[in-house]
Structure 1
């Protein structure tokens, strides 16, 4: 296996917590109704298009046309987004900062809407401490498509076989591998520390 020269972090559920349910517990108190709302209205497939670059006004209008009685709830998704990212995953942040301090080449690659990531930067300044970040909403590409990994390589001058990707999603981990990267699935900070150690990277 090629020695790791570049380390790339995902953001959501690796460096910061993400839980859409947290923003709706007061708005839709009934858990069954709340699940129905996320399964049928503000779905994952709908939200991922904002990560691809669709603006929120268009996204909301599409849903309101189909669910006019849910307009308040639909608009609450963006309005209350800050409640969906309530805290950092401190152990992971500590690992990332140690890697940077040790001289490792650290960047980030994330599926994230352009505006909400910049909001997250203000709340979590450590998200700006790596050499740079590829934001899906800025480039119009999504993990696990190979194109976004290739874009990241070209942007930051990485050697794919010497690049290690850390992501919580099995599909995104597999996507990185298909692009010629090394990758590990993030479980928790302690497991990440162990996985890095197995690759000869001490933190």
Structure 2
């Protein structure tokens, strides 16, 4: 089987194109400055990450409306219209996943920072998610990458030997956290780069 027997994929930014700008560009009539201001000031990355770590969407939404009542309607849209943030599959990476699946050589898993309330939308929309033998969703575990706990959960649940696993993520912090666990990390930039790095590790596609 070679040096590696398990490949773990992140989802958003690696296999699935997700971006809140897709929604708010419509909301703000293409005003990119206003979109950036809103997502950097009101519905921020860190606020969203709390829901990825298990906070109920209603709780987080109500907290933010209490802080910024004048923007209530725009804040509510974040999760009311959440499916509009999904841009579609990243086809080049999906092709790599499909080729690996056909080989039947590797355990294929996903480890994603994702709210357990919105993840069912992705499961329904993206057929290729059925190719994984298991998916660890941060919202189900009440922790998230890059915290050590979620890597430990993944390793334990699927009986993974860290040194025999490869982890692919577009967030360098998450990759470095995997490296610290003894997992070989690939910082994803695009499908061609991923293809090359997998080949370099002896994972031929």
> Partner of 1:96 in structure 2?
97
> Partner of 1:188 in structure 2?
190
| Contact 2:169–2:187 (8 Å) recurs in 1 | yes
For residues 107-151 of structure 1, what are the alpha-carbon distances to aligned partners after superposition, in whole Å with 9 as ceiling and x for unaligned? 000000002111101000211221001100000111111111111
Q: Distance in 2 between matches of 1:44 and 1:151?
A: 24
With normalisation by structure 1, the TM-score equals 0.96
> Partner of 1:111 in structure 2?
113
> Partner of 1:40 in structure 2?
41
Q: Distance in 1 between matches of 2:119 and 2:11?
A: 10
Q: Distance in 2 between matches of 1:78 and 1:160?
A: 35
> Partner of 2:123 in structure 1?
121
> Partner of 1:149 in structure 2?
151
| Contact 2:57–2:117 (8 Å) recurs in 1 | no
List gaps (5 residues or longer) in structure 1.
none
> Partner of 2:18 in structure 1?
18
* Root mean square deviation of aligned Cα: 1.1
> Partner of 2:82 in structure 1?
81
> Partner of 1:28 in structure 2?
28
- The CA deviation at 1:187 is 1.0
Q: Distance in 1 between matches of 2:128 and 2:61?
A: 30
For this pair of structures, how many residues does the alignment match?
202
With normalisation by structure 2, the TM-score equals 0.96
Q: Distance in 1 between matches of 2:147 and 2:58?
A: 26
